[in-house]
Amino acid sequence: MAHTFPRMINPNIRVFWAGFQSTTHELGRVGWRVEAYQQPEMRRLQLAFINKPLGLVGLSQMEEFDYMRYHAPQSGYVDIQQMEIKCHMIPKEAQIAVSHTMEGMFHAVNTEPDMVTSSVKSIEDLFLFQPKKEILVEPSTIPEMMELILKQQSPKQKEIREKYRKTTKREIHKEEQKLIYTPHFEVASMVET
């Protein structure tokens, strides 16, 4: 039986690129699609950062990363806080060729840092970044899916709506408080004597 121990997945790694510094989490949070090529058996890690609306693609160098040591505390300590990823901008002319090369190798990943305590049972459990769970649906099936969701929720729909209303009221009240609050300033008037 494999031992379980807490470990960080989707770590917040510093990214240096085109004159700016950010982190994997921040880039994911503001809308960049982060993809990873992870090969634990070969100790390889490469990240890609894609922003379709801006037409920008960044690709890191192939990094050597000891996945086994990172996930097994008895093997030593890997200080992920010291890890830095250096990226290179991919020119628009080369993006199509690069995207075809990346297809099948890179997968969209979650950038929200998390702690897990599950044991390592497969090679995918060693991944530094966990793959994003994406649901692809046929547009024509969306009305059917919505109907199923409403049917599933119907017994609790009243409770769900009430919870939403309370949350919304609280948020509106907080916003009103911000608008109503004005700091008290003492104004000294100048009186000519």
Q: Choose between 28 and 188: higher pLDDT.
A: 28
- Given a cut of 70, whether residue 47 has pLDDT beyond it is yes
- Given a cut of 80, whether residue 30 has pLDDT beyond it is yes
Domain ranges of the chain: 7-126, 139-180
Rounded Cα gap, residues 36 and 16, in angstroms: 16
Rounded Cα gap, residues 156 and 6, in angstroms: 35
Encode pLDDT of 54-74 as tens digits.
Answer: 888 888 988 888 877 776 666
Encode pLDDT of 108-145 as tens digits.
Answer: 898 888 888 877 787 788 888 888 877 777 888 888 88
- Supply 15's token pair: 């990214």
What residues contact residue 73 under an 8 Å CB cut-off, 6+ apart? 5, 7
Average pLDDT over residues 2-16: 78
Distances (CA, A) of 70 to 27, 78, 166, 177: 23, 5, 44, 47
Q: Say if residues 89 and 56 touch (Cβ distance below 8 Å).
A: yes
What's the whole-number average pLDDT of the chain? Answer: 76
In terms of Cα–Cα distance, which of 127, 107, 91 is closest to 33? 107
- Supply 57's token pair: 């693609």
Q: Exposed (0-12), middle (13-18) or buried (19+): which is 24, by Cβ within 10 Å?
A: buried
